[in-house]
Structure 1
Amino acid sequence: MSPEAGFAALAATWPAAATRDLGPVRLRNGASGGARVSAATLEGPFGQGDIAAAEEAMRGEGRAPLFMVRAGEAALDAALDARGYAIKDPTSILAARVDALDTICARANWPPSAAQRALWAEGGIGAARIAVMERAEGPKTVLHHPGGCAFVACHGEIAMLHALEVSPAARRRGAGRAVMAMAAGWAHAQGCAWLALAVTRANAPARALYARLGYEEIGAYHYREAPA
């Protein structure tokens, strides 16, 4: 899978409430759904004036300027660093071929049940992020295992997993691995060739699990957040 395909699937399966282009910068309204749906991205050649215009637009919406900087965007990264932007949440996009993964045929459901919403809420995934899931078009589902659940949606031949949450009591007991196998089974049933996800590099336990399951990095990004 190419990095471009991974980022396209990420945007399609975890969509912003609205987007608009201001010159080469794509602005996002995340409706309080988190950085991934709120960060601006670069979509073409830029100058310092383009960054300034994007900053003004984001501040005009009552929020601090925030950019997603993808691997290969060194010029943007340097420009934001020079303006005092701090790095936030370095993240990897991981992917594996579905036919190489362990699969479990699981009962899937949409919309999420009250129990699934409660489990997500325990991990800080509230109504605004549920709204992100609701905006995703195409096949999508919630997968549940005792103590764990996740959201999965399709974009072309890629199934993207989001919001994997395992309760503290169920950790190190196979719940995460079981949900991942359910996700692979669901992706296979949808005819997807790939299962992908995004994970922060600071999340060592999750990265270790995904490595054991056979996932490899196909893309990376971090955020740059403007000084107060």
Structure 2
Amino acid sequence: MTPGDPDLARAFETTWPAAEYADAGAFRVGRGHGAGGRVSSARALRPDWDEADIPAVEAIHRRWRQRAMFRLPDCDDALAKALIARGYQRQNPTAIMALDCAALRDRDVPGMTAFTIWPPLAIQGDIWAAGNIGAARQAVMPRVALPRTAILGRHEDRAAGAAFVAVDGPVAMIHAIEVAPGFRRKGLAGWLIRRAATWADAQGATRLGLAVSRANTSARALYDRMGFAETGGYAYWARD
């Protein structure tokens, strides 16, 4: 999903893993158990895929009783063309962004605003669930076989936000950033991200990455203001 940046590409996969994987030719298929497209899609491991690999991927999806779906980097025109010919359509274009952890040291996180906690508290699960990060997606977090933590955000002495972050080598990825509706536009998401960067730095990571839907313009605007730069992009491809 991030051509030319193998460290970020690896962390993108390992910090939010599928329940299991199966290979079909040049593709790897994730079994998501209802946890969303990122862990339930197929991606090309190599550029030497064959047209015959596509129905093999579809067969794995059928066996696992999940929707046939591919995840393509924006630059993969050849595979996009092959999928279009089979009736697939592009969905949910997403940007991958990153910045140096050191860039977020310019402001200290205020006391009692954001805490690292593992395992997550029940209130964090409630905040995630209210934001469409339900039990299936939350089940991804304990699967991560890497340094990991959850972040609890507070505002006006109330639990108000949650996030998850994990580190693979020099790159940390933050996922599942969610702020409760009554506390949005108060700067809490930014503090969650800064706390994630501080924690990641302590684990030896030098960069913090994230994925954001291109339709989520408010989140993208925040990340731009914080200094994140786009490093790649992808979209899902599925049939209606």
User: Is the structural similarity TM-score above 0.5?
Assistant: yes
Q: Which one of 37, 44, 49 corresponds to residue 46 of structure 1?
A: 49
Cα distance in structure 2, aligned partners of 1:181 and 1:219: 22
SS at match of 2:52: helix
Q: 1:138 matched to which residue of 2?
A: 146
**From 68, 76, 80, the counterpart of 2:79:** 76
Superposed, 1:168-207 pairs within 5 Å as: 168-207=181-220
Alignment of 1:95-134 (within 5 A): 95-102=98-105, 104=108, 107-134=115-142
Aligned identity (percent) is: 42
Q: Retained in 2: the 8 A contact 1:159–1:192?
A: yes
One-letter amino acid matched to 2:42: A
Q: Give the RMSD, CA atoms, in angstroms.
A: 1.5
How many Å apart are 1:8 and its aligned residue? 1.1
Question: Structure 1 pair 107/171, CA: closer, same or farther in 2 (3 Å)?
Answer: closer
CA contact (8 A) 2:171 2:206 kept: yes
Deviation at 1:128, TM superposition (A): 0.9
Give the CA deviation at 1:7.
2.2
TM-score normalised by structure 2 residue count: 0.90
CA displacement 1:153-194 (0-9 Å, x = unmatched): 001111100000011111111111111111111112112100
Partner of 1:63: 66
Q: Does the CA contact (< 8 Å) of 2:69 and 2:238 recur in 1?
A: yes
Indicate the residue corresponding to 2:229 in structure 1.
216
Matched, 1:157 2:170: yes
User: Aligned pair count?
Assistant: 227
Alpha-carbon shift at residue 60 of structure 1 (Å): 3.0
* Structure 1 position 145, deviation (Å): 1.3
Assess, with a 3 A threshold, how the Cα gap between structure 1 residues 192 and 55 changes in structure 2: closer, same or farther.
same
Counterpart residue identity of residue 87, structure 2: G
Cα distance, 1:104 vs. partner? 4.1
Number of the residue aligned with 1:5: 7
Unaligned runs of 5+ in 2: 155-159
How far apart are residue 138 of structure 1 and its match?
Answer: 1.6
Q: Which residue of 1 aligns with 2:157?
A: none
Q: CA deviation at 1:3?
A: 3.4
